[in-house]
Structure 1
Amino acid sequence: MFELHLRQKSTAFQIEKRCKALAKVIKARRAPPWPCVPTPELPAKVVSDALIECYLRTNETLLRVLHIPSFRRDYEAVWSPDSNPDPTFLVLLKLVLAIGATTYDESFSLRPSAVRWVYEAHTWLSAPDFKHRLGIPSLQANILLLIARQATGVGEDLVWASVGSTLRIAMYMGLHRDPAGLGPSTTTPMVAEMRRRLWNTILEIALESSLNSGGAPLISLDHFDTEPPGNFDDDQLTGAEGEVLVPKPDGTFSQTTTAIALRSMFPQRLAIVKYLNDLSSRGSYAETLKLDTELRAAYKTLTRTLQTCKTPTNGPSDLELRAVDLLLRHYFVALHLPFFAPALKETEFAFSRRVVVESALRLWRAAFPVPLSQLPTIDDPLARVAISGSGYFRTIAVQASIVIAVELTSLMREEESLGLGPVEVRPDLLTALDDFKVWSWKGMETGETNTKGYLVACLVWAQVDAMRKGMVEEEWVMEVVKAAEEAETRCLGLLEEIEARGRQPQDAPFGTATQGVGGDAVVTPDFGVGDWDYMMSDVLFNTAGDPLSWVFQ
């Protein structure tokens, strides 16, 4: 009935076509030419400093990629007038800046620059001289490229396929083998820890991309024996000759504690992803409940571990705890979602319905602790990622909002069938649904060109509002059609404004003008690893050394 009214009596479809055409123009303007050869140009230092801090207090707290003291040292050296920056480090640095740009401000004003930095990194890493890429810095750049693609919306839908390549590069380098089993003469303590950290992060990205894409994880616990990273702060890893590392005691927080805690739940989460995505999985409800029990027990242990580490002066930040909650509760939603639709009609699956709805609500509140409609500005980094980013966090927000919308309309139909007049609904679900509409619009304001999210949000809100008022079906269908027209008209106006701005010469935002670094550096895609070797002294990472066939033994 709704589609019939839209096609015959509404202009929404015609407006949507105009929106799609404008979106294609806008996206085409954002994309730099390919190949996009890296340049030594960076934002002004004050902006670069801010972007790095944005990255370090968000992504790096969960996914350890950098040795922060070494990164800061090499970053400061870049700004020296007589420096000749290593190409690998410049590529890595720009990826850090691109990821940091998603939380730099609430409008994602640096989106064009972030997209270009991702293109530059992609060009550089695509060079055919593969042997020169078998080093820790290049592997770090590969990992950051996966994260940056999701954050900036550059081919984010295909990250799962790219993770497979990065995973196999890491295995070719031997990161799937624990350094302790390779003998003390093969690596230093610092390099050993960095190898564990990077392998841990690759596992995490492989798992999350599999859950997001619906593809098989293509990794098994039998494929590696690398231990989790040690409980070290970065300044404990000095790389000094004869260095002896002593990890912090259990229960003492370090810069790696959160990553270690997530690794402790890797077996349970991997089992769930295999159960959901492997072709051999039967998907029985008994198995779902078994996996749910195991996941809950592991999550309870993880929560206690992180809470134990929290002191008045140290411990995981509120941002970290919310991000962990966001990551892990997604597994509850994914595990029970196949039984959500049947649960709307069959009491046998009532537990799954409750888990999906409550987990979705918790996911939404983890991203947005305060209702968006009550916030004049968005200062929270996690909320900014969920609004302007295109990766994992945004996907979770979409899934949570859809679950909340379905639950609301189902509850209202159940109440409506009793014939008791206007329907009362759960205020927490209603607030979240209102947030969904605000979130969708803010996403478009920060650069999202797909109008479907905002359109669906307006349609569902109009339907719920009409049902609350006790309208009959014919009446609320017309309300929904009206909401569709208004939503598309509003989207068209915004896209026309964005497209018009794109045709005008733009000045760089205040304080963001680019500047070259170093001397006459030219960063070409065929550069090798170069001299950035703070952890590259071992023969394992010497590209001129023996072949790495030993890693497969």
Structure 2
Amino acid sequence: MAETERRRRRPPISCVLCRRRKIRCNRESPCSNCVRSKNASCIYENHFLQPQQATELHSSISPIAEVAVPSLTSKSSPRAASTTTASTAATYQSSQDIEFLKNKIKQLEERLSQSNETSQSPIQTPGSNIEAISSRIGGTFYVHHEDPLAGQPQNISRSVTHKSRMFGQSHWITGMALVRDILNLIEPHVHEDTCKILTLMVKSKSLARTIKSQRTPRWPSLLKTDLPSKDIADELVDRYLQTTETIYRIIHIPSFKKDYEAHWTSQAEPNTAFLVQLKLVLAIGATTYDDKFTLRSSAMQWVYEAQTWISEPGFKHRLNLQFLQNNILLLIAREFVDVGPDLVWISAGTLVRIAVYMGLHKDPTRLPKVSTFTAEMRRRLWNTILEISLQLSLISGGPPFISVDMFNTEPPGNFDDEQLALEDPPPKPESYFTQTSIAIILRKIFPARLSIVKFLNNHGSSGTFKETLQLDAELRASYKAVLRTLQGYKSTTGSQPSKFAMDVVSLLMNRYCLSLHIPFFAPAMDEAAYAFSRKVVVETSLKIWRGIFPSPLTPVSQSYPDTVLPSQHYLARLVVCASGFFRISPLQASVLIASELMGQLREEETFGPGLVRQDLLSIVSEAKTWAWKCIEAGETSIKGYFLASLHAAQIEGLMQGLEKEELSRFVVKEGEEAEEKCFPLLEEMLSRINPEGSTGAPEQTTPSQMVEDWDLTMSDALFDFGETELVNWGFDENYQGLSFN
């Protein structure tokens, strides 16, 4: 019997890594799986390459080569895909031509690998609109650009993917492309032995992780009855009532004060739900207690205790107005006190569903009859839930998932809290300022702001410039009517809104306007058609900054002069001590102003010397002072101060006319000095947490972990449950499937 012909082993055409994982390879260089896994190289073994496989492999590599190294395809790359005749195929059978093809493919792979590793210019995925911005300092950000449309600029960022999360246009991180110049400027020096930027950043991050671990309360944290002394508690409650409660109506102030006084005098066991509410009020009030947030540790403990109580299963019996109040307060406290502020938007969705489950989306007139007190509290809480949900969608870059047709609840009535204790009280005229007037004003401009957030963050939004101008006009028209109402309050002899409330309303409106025009800010640097957006972004950023800091910040001056009333300190303290919306707003404004100044300096090189705006230049310097104050108040990430220092150095170097290499080294030097300045402050912060020094060595940080807190609303984890981390987009090299690391 003739011996069965032995089958020849099929030559491998997948890359080594895909073949080892036993997953499908698209045979590009690098392949899609290696791109997701962030591998520096993608290796193919072509020892048994046959003509057909050589043609197929080279065809898949050619488009990438045309993007990354176009000179290769025009001069030295063999056009294997066009070899379709039998004679050409026969030629490829010769060992000489096969070796030639193998060498060329190897050269292409090496050149592409070097290009991906060393070039900091955008990496455009073939046939895609996703751009990767990568550096050792900033990590990798995938920017999703505008799909090609007639009349639309191609460099508009529609969203950004970073690690396991995706952010819409309203998230500040979508402006990452604006700091690309600085990253490109310092990146070549990061690899030098003499450069200390990476080393200092890793050390600072390790120290920051140790500080956070020492600060973080135990989980779960059972509710305790202990409180600060009565005089401190009184002041914290007062701070809450003068700030947060003036914007977001949550509690009924007379009822709260009555229960508060009873808590201190009664010998009975305290009401658990009220104790949770009180601790959350104290935690929020602590963010404006002083300039250094000295009660941070206590505030975090109070938030953890409240979170533990609310997280208990089987809370059906708690579905009442006080439970809703506590949930709202918890969201605000988590955002302000920096307990997982980046994930608060997710919890806001749960809160909306609880409110709908309780029927708050239906006006009380359409439900069984209730008292005026109950009806108005339901309207207030639904109004506040809408406001907070929309605001969190704005800062998180997520879709709002709410619409004006999902509810028919009327806005709150124009009542002072004392009126609600009466039977069927009439609301006061609209021209009369009450404790609910600011909430009513925000509700009037809610539809215009909701349209903007949907326009920016909803999936599939085209985001044309024409629509941007239309939404801008609608927002301005709504705000114009609001301003007339606010001006009317000032002309009366009755109650008037506080300066804090007025400043916050202005900040909110400017933030929505700013977010609307930011997508066209970068294109406006090159295309005059979008000059209006550039002007709006610059002037609105200036308004945001000066609305928070009316007078220039200087390192040696007092934060708050004696001539300023204490109530006027609150917003400035909030942007230093709190996290979330109030922290991100000045950060975003300062980055945009720095980008505008660099744009002006570049234009000078083209059109000749011009005037750099001094009002903008002063804010670049003030941004460093503000970022430093944030660290003094307990912020563990030094990257805000580091970035502000880089911006100031680059602008100074450009104004001095430094050449590129000289400018690069100047910026690197300033960055190193900024890091060296911050490190002792972090060490002092750690020593205050553990005066006896029994902290052990700082937690070790790898360069890949170092980029986690570039987005200053992202804390490392909501609660420390151990070593659990968020799901990654990529693949694990040692597991044939999705990675959960």
TM over 0.5: yes
Q: Do 2:433 and 2:494's aligned partners in 1 also have CA atoms closer than 8 Å? A: no
Distance (Å, rounded) in 2 between the aligned partners of 1:121 and 1:177: 28
Higher helix proportion (structure 1 or 2)? 1
Number of aligned residue pairs: give it: 499
Task: Report the Cα offset of residue 215 of structure 1.
Answer: 0.8
In the other structure, the counterpart of 1:128 is 313
Distance (Å, rounded) in 2 between the aligned partners of 1:384 and 1:301: 30
In the other structure, the counterpart of 2:462 is 282
Task: Report the Cα offset of residue 171 of structure 1.
Answer: 0.7
Task: Report the Cα offset of residue 375 of structure 1.
Answer: 4.1
Q: Do 2:646 and 2:667's aligned partners in 1 also have CA atoms closer than 8 Å? A: yes
Q: Please give the secondary structure, in 2, of the residue aligned with 1:372.
A: coil
In the other structure, the counterpart of 2:380 is 197
Distance (Å, rounded) in 1 between the aligned partners of 2:519 and 2:607: 28
In the other structure, the counterpart of 1:55 is 240
Q: Do 1:265 and 1:299's aligned partners in 2 also have CA atoms closer than 8 Å? A: yes
Distance (Å, rounded) in 2 between the aligned partners of 1:354 and 1:462: 24
In the other structure, the counterpart of 2:100 is none
**Counterparts in 2 of 1:118-517, with a 5 A limit?**
118-184=303-369, 187-238=370-421, 243-310=423-490, 311-312=492-493, 314-373=495-554, 375-378=557-560, 380-420=569-609, 424-504=611-691
Distance (Å, rounded) in 1 between the aligned partners of 2:211 and 2:317: 37
Distance (Å, rounded) in 2 between the aligned partners of 1:479 and 1:50: 47
Task: Report the Cα offset of residue 228 of structure 1.
Answer: 0.4
Distance (Å, rounded) in 1 between the aligned partners of 2:496 and 2:529: 42
In the other structure, the counterpart of 2:281 is 96
Distance (Å, rounded) in 1 between the aligned partners of 2:253 and 2:348: 24
Distance (Å, rounded) in 1 between the aligned partners of 2:246 and 2:557: 26
Question: Deviation digits for residues 174-210 of structure 1, max 9, x if unmatched?
Answer: 11000012142xx111010000000000000000011
Amino acid at match of 1:303: L
Q: Which moved more, 1:7-16 or 1:247-256?
A: 7-16
In the other structure, the counterpart of 1:548 is none
Distance (Å, rounded) in 2 between the aligned partners of 1:283 and 1:180: 39
Distance (Å, rounded) in 2 between the aligned partners of 1:3 and 1:384: 35
Distance (Å, rounded) in 2 between the aligned partners of 1:293 and 1:121: 42
Q: Do 1:401 and 1:433's aligned partners in 2 also have CA atoms closer than 8 Å? A: yes
Distance (Å, rounded) in 2 between the aligned partners of 1:364 and 1:162: 30
RMSD: 1.4
Distance (Å, rounded) in 1 between the aligned partners of 2:258 and 2:630: 36
Distance (Å, rounded) in 1 between the aligned partners of 2:530 and 2:299: 45
Amino acid at match of 1:377: S
Q: Please give the secondary structure, in 2, of the residue aligned with 1:237.
A: helix
Amino acid at match of 2:432: T
Q: Do 2:432 and 2:494's aligned partners in 1 also have CA atoms closer than 8 Å? A: no
Q: Please give the secondary structure, in 2, of the residue aligned with 1:61.
A: helix
Question: Deviation digits for residues 145-187 of structure 1, max 9, x if unmatched?
Answer: 0000110110000011000001110111111000012142xx1
Question: Deviation digits for residues 248-270 of structure 1, max 9, x if unmatched?
Answer: 11110000001100000011111
Distance (Å, rounded) in 2 between the aligned partners of 1:127 and 1:350: 53
Distance (Å, rounded) in 1 between the aligned partners of 2:606 and 2:465: 29
Task: Report the Cα offset of residue 313 of structure 1.
Answer: 5.0
Distance (Å, rounded) in 2 between the aligned partners of 1:42 and 1:347: 59
State the identity %: 52
Q: Do 1:424 and 1:468's aligned partners in 2 also have CA atoms closer than 8 Å? A: no
Task: Report the Cα offset of residue 474 of structure 1.
Answer: 2.1
Q: Please give the secondary structure, in 1, of the residue aligned with 2:191.
A: helix
Flag the structure with more relative contact order, 1 or 2, with Cα contacts below 8 A and sequence separation at least 6.
1
Amino acid at match of 2:191: R
Q: Do 1:133 and 1:139's aligned partners in 2 also have CA atoms closer than 8 Å? A: no
Q: Do 1:340 and 1:352's aligned partners in 2 also have CA atoms closer than 8 Å? A: yes
Q: Do 2:541 and 2:590's aligned partners in 1 also have CA atoms closer than 8 Å? A: yes
Q: Please give the secondary structure, in 2, of the residue aligned with 1:60.
A: helix
Q: Which moved more, 1:76-85 or 1:170-179?
A: 76-85
Unaligned runs of 5+ residues in structure 2 are 1-184, 561-565, 694-741
Q: Please give the secondary structure, in 2, of the residue aligned with 1:417.
A: helix
Bigger CA radius of gyration: 2
Distance (Å, rounded) in 2 between the aligned partners of 1:297 and 1:40: 50
Q: Please give the secondary structure, in 2, of the residue aligned with 1:245.
A: coil
Q: Do 1:258 and 1:306's aligned partners in 2 also have CA atoms closer than 8 Å? A: no
Unaligned runs of 5+ residues in structure 1 are 507-553
Distance (Å, rounded) in 2 between the aligned partners of 1:15 and 1:432: 26
Amino acid at match of 1:357: V
Q: Do 2:620 and 2:648's aligned partners in 1 also have CA atoms closer than 8 Å? A: yes
In the other structure, the counterpart of 2:225 is 40
Task: Report the Cα offset of residue 364 of structure 1.
Answer: 0.9
Q: Please give the secondary structure, in 1, of the residue aligned with 2:265.
A: coil
Distance (Å, rounded) in 2 between the aligned partners of 1:391 and 1:133: 29
Distance (Å, rounded) in 2 between the aligned partners of 1:53 and 1:413: 50
Amino acid at match of 2:391: E
**Counterparts in 2 of 1:517-532, with a 5 A limit?**
none
Amino acid at match of 1:266: F
Q: Do 1:92 and 1:141's aligned partners in 2 also have CA atoms closer than 8 Å? A: yes
Amino acid at match of 2:390: L
